[in-house]
Each structure stands twice: as C-alpha cells, then as structure tokens.
Chains A and B, each alone.
Chain A
C-alpha cells in the first residue's frame, strides 16, 4: 500500500467553526507532514512529525493545531480560521533521515473559509 489518504476531500467552514482534517498512511513511514498550498504556488511546509513527535513548526498561527495520535494518523485541528486560510491542505509521509527523503502526498483537502 503506497497511498496516503486524506478526509474530507472538500470542507467549507465559517470563521467560528471548529473542524479537523485527517490523514492516514500504511506505508510504515515515521515522518508525516502538513503543507498548505495556494493556487498556482508550490506547497508551503506547516508542520513535521517525526516518530510521532512534533519536530518542525514553521511559525504557523495557533488557529492550526496538529496532532499525531499514532504512527499512521495525522490530524490538523482548525479553529477560528480566516478567509485567507482558504487553500489546499496536503498531507505527506516519508521515512525520516534517509538520504533520498522521498515524500508521498495525499490528494489534499480543499478548504474554503467563509
């Protein structure tokens, strides 16, 4: 199984809502990532979990809260978002600290904040 799955595919939320994005992989990877991607731009790294511990937080606002319950799952909890947070949110996984560092991406969640 070389697939990273993400749910939901699309999400529309108001600025006062609380929602969560979910990501799952069964490749035995021990590093998982959240990226944000705006239209016609490359993905921007938000968070990295390595061995279920947060290892990188790219100065992301606290209205985004990541969680890694186990080695296969990664969540992104959303609260009090702004319209400018509307974007494609991508999850990826890899084996950490390997020379090749290949990351495998999920299909993304298209988030719209009203």
Chain B
C-alpha cells in the first residue's frame, strides 16, 4: 500500500468562505476519485480525474490532478452548509480497480 496523505483532517468554516483539501502521495496513479460522505450514508462519487494537469469543475467545486499524477486537490468556492461532510480522496491502485482511501477531511460549514 502506497503512502497517501490527505489534509487537513478537519475544517470548520463559515458559509461563504473558500476551502481547499489536499491529497498527496509519492506514487503515480492512473486515476483518482473524490467522494463526499454524510453521516450514516455511503460515499457519493463527486469526480474522477485521469489525466495529469486535469482540472474539473462541478458547480462550486474545482478538482485538480497534479501534472505527475501523484497529487490532487479539491477547492470549494463560497461554501454552503450543504457542503458539510467527509471528503475522501481515493486513487486507483491496481488493474482490478482497488481503491486506496485517504484518511478523509471532515468539513463543517456553519451558516
């Protein structure tokens, strides 16, 4: 299992502020997924990034995949209470599709 670091572990911000979550590794990944999970529910897939340097936007969420495909970030602009949740990065680690999950970032957005 490759070393995968997700930071920060916890973020508490006010509605309207911006935030960034980071996912870093020394390994190269063929693809990486970001999920959001709410308490008592399963993770919901937000995006998959595949190409080095790729940037994807999903409304107020911007996802980047590093040029070397070793790191990724998630940026939320003007956060809303509905963005509250556990954000998980999960690179694909083998040809069968096995994912390695980061430790997760708990985001709390207060009105």
A: residues with CB less than 8 A from B are: 4, 6, 31, 40-43, 45, 48, 50, 55-56, 88, 90, 92, 94-108, 110
Pairwise interchain contact A105-B103, C-beta atoms closer than 8 A: no
B96 touches A108 (CB 8 A): no
Q: How far, in whole Å, are A43 and B97 apart by their CA atoms in the complex?
A: 15
Contacts of B101 in A (CB 8 A): 42-43
The answer to whether B98 and A97 touch across the interface, beta carbons within 8 angstroms, is no
Interchain CA distance A110-B42 in the complex, whole Å? 11
Asked if A101 and B92 make an inter-chain contact with CB atoms under 8 angstroms apart, the answer reads yes
Given contacts A42-B102, A42-B104, contact A103 B97 (CB under 8 A): yes
Q: Which of B14-22, B44-52, B60-68, B77-85 lines the interface with chain A?
A: B44-52
Q: How far is the CA of A31 from the CA of B102 in the complex (A)?
A: 22
Residues in B neighbouring A98, C-beta threshold 8 A? 97
**Chain B residues within CB distance 8 Å of chain A:** 30-31, 33, 35, 40-45, 48, 50, 88, 90, 92, 95-99, 101-104, 106
A56 touches B96 (CB 8 A): yes
17 A-B pairs within 8 Å (CB atoms) are namely A6-B42, A40-B104, A41-B104, A43-B43, A48-B96, A95-B97, A97-B97, A98-B97, A99-B50, A100-B48, A101-B33, A103-B33, A105-B35, A106-B42, A107-B41, A107-B42, A108-B40
Q: Is the contact region of chain B dominated by helix, strand, or loop, or is it mixed?
A: loop
A100 to B99 Cα, complex, angstroms: 11
Residue pair B98, A56 in contact (C-beta under 8 Å):
yes
A-B pairs with lowest CB-CB distance, top 9: A105-B42, A42-B101, A101-B97, A101-B92, A108-B42, A100-B48, A105-B43, A107-B42, A42-B104
List, in ascending order, chain B residues with CB within 8 A of A42's CB: 88, 101-104
> Given the complex of chains A and B, what is the CA–CA distance between A38 and B101 in angstroms?
13
CA distance A26 to B16 in the complex (A): 39
Q: Given A100-B31, A101-B92, A102-B33, A45–B42 Cβ distance below 8 Å?
A: no
How near does chain B come to A102, taking the closest CB pair, in angstroms? 5
Kindly state the separation between the CA atoms of A99 and B88 in the bound complex, as whole angstroms: 19
